[in-house]
Structure 1
Amino acid sequence: MSLLQQPVQPALRLSRQAIRQHARQLRQQLPAATRASAATELVQQVFDQAELTSKQHFALYLANDAELNTEPLIKALWQAGKDVYLPVLHPFCPGYLLFLHYDSTTELRANHFGIPEPRLNCANVIPVAQLDVIFAPLVAFDAAGNRLGMGGGFYDRTLAQLPRHSPCQVIGLAHNCQQVAAVPVEPWDIPLQQVITPAKYFDFR
């Protein structure tokens, strides 16, 4: 059992930065074969959920920093006739994301983090509230659905725009090793409704 998955006493609770650093190291150390099989297993986990396969508008992301590879899932969603959207750094509201339609013909460019994103075209933007499913990247998560990201707060700010009782499902995607005993929670954190790993589907609702 990883140190981060062991029960944590309140006085010994690890900082967000310590958890973030260790979880990133764990996923970066995964062998290439494990990462490849994880991406395939993710597709099966998603398509095993009838609640998800009935949806139409899916926001995803392109993997960075050894995140769980979403490309096979994106291709599977395209083949199933679903609409896929990718996040783009908001050009006028720093710290926020826009979601743009993405298909095999979409031109990508690297943002200032070096992450590929679609070229901004207002005609391809979908309001966050119109998305059916948002698959969010994360660094670590716990059994209560608390999410730890990279520290920029982009998803927390953007997800805070969803109406209180929005039907949009916000689901974290992670390698199995990214589950930790407890994520220290801040007031601005938006908890996840579900997390999907290659091995398990977590429902926190």
Structure 2
Amino acid sequence: MILSRQNFRKQIREKRNRLCKDEQHQASLSLSLRFSTLPELLICQHIALYISSDGEIDTKPLIERLWKQGKQTYLPVIHPFSKGCLLFLHYDSNTSIKQNTYGIFEPELNKTCIKPISQIDLICTPLVGFDSLGYRLGMGGGYYDRTLKEWFITGVGAIPIGLAYDFQHVDQLPIKSWDIPLPKIVTPTQIWQW
């Protein structure tokens, strides 16, 4: 029997939040190392990520590794006028950060720092769970599904890559018509690709 989306979210989020600090730190370092082996990284310069929250695998080591490699990084910001959509703003160590309405950290909105999604090479997506077909289960707001829709239809634009702990993998998720499968998901021990 497949659990409901709500039950999957609850179970996996609880598991994430039970990890001790050392487990979280080791997993994030391993993920950063594994991510750095992606062949796409050789030709990609503009990479969108996110600041981890709610027990998500910590993206800070990965972001810092990308900075050392001279990559440009961007963070999502909830679009102030287009409901349910994301903007991506340049992010470096001097960027001013605030919490949004969901308690997620994002850059202060500054229109001079916006990078059009058409000019981003990779978009790293958070997820609560993922299955053996590459479908991701997010928090339920649909922000990334809307963001990735054009890429999914045309195959052009920023390539999405999910970031997760290994235990966030499940055999099968309950899928909805708007769900966008990812071509790759990186965990601390593996690169899943479809």
TM-score (norm 1): 0.91
**Identity rate of aligned residues, in percent?**
45
Query: What is the alpha-carbon distance in structure 2 between the residues aligned to residue 114 and residue 13 of structure 1?
Result: 30
Is 1:148–2:154 an aligned residue pair?
A: no
**Residue in 2 that maps onto 1:120:** 109
Moved over 4 A (4+): none
Judge conservation of contact 1:47–1:53 (CA < 8 Å) in 2: no
**Residue in 1 that maps onto 2:33:** 44
Query: What is the alpha-carbon distance in structure 2 between the residues aligned to residue 20 and residue 53 of structure 1?
Result: 34
Q: How does 1:33-182 map to 2 (within 5 A)?
A: 33-162=22-151, 164-182=154-172
Q: CA deviation at 1:104?
A: 0.7
- For structure 1, which runs of at least 5 residues remain unmatched after alignment? 1-11
* AA in 1 matched with 2:173: V
Higher mean C-alpha displacement, 40-49 vs 81-90: 40-49
Q: CA deviation at 1:167?
A: 4.4
**Residue in 1 that maps onto 2:186:** 196
Judge conservation of contact 1:133–1:171 (CA < 8 Å) in 2: yes
Q: CA deviation at 1:113?
A: 1.2
Q: CA deviation at 1:25?
A: 1.0
Query: What is the alpha-carbon distance in structure 1 between the residues aligned to residue 133 and residue 76 of structure 2?
Result: 26
Partner of 2:162, secondary structure, is strand
Query: What is the alpha-carbon distance in structure 2 between the residues aligned to residue 99 and residue 49 of structure 1?
Result: 22
Query: What is the alpha-carbon distance in structure 2 between the residues aligned to residue 183 and residue 192 of structure 1?
Result: 13
- For structure 2, which runs of at least 5 residues remain unmatched after alignment? none
1:114-141 Cα offsets, whole Å, 9 max, x none, are 1111111111111112210000000000
Judge conservation of contact 1:128–1:161 (CA < 8 Å) in 2: no
**Count of aligned positions:** 193
2:5 is aligned, of 16, 27, 48, to 16
Partner of 1:98, secondary structure, is strand
**Residue in 2 that maps onto 1:6:** none
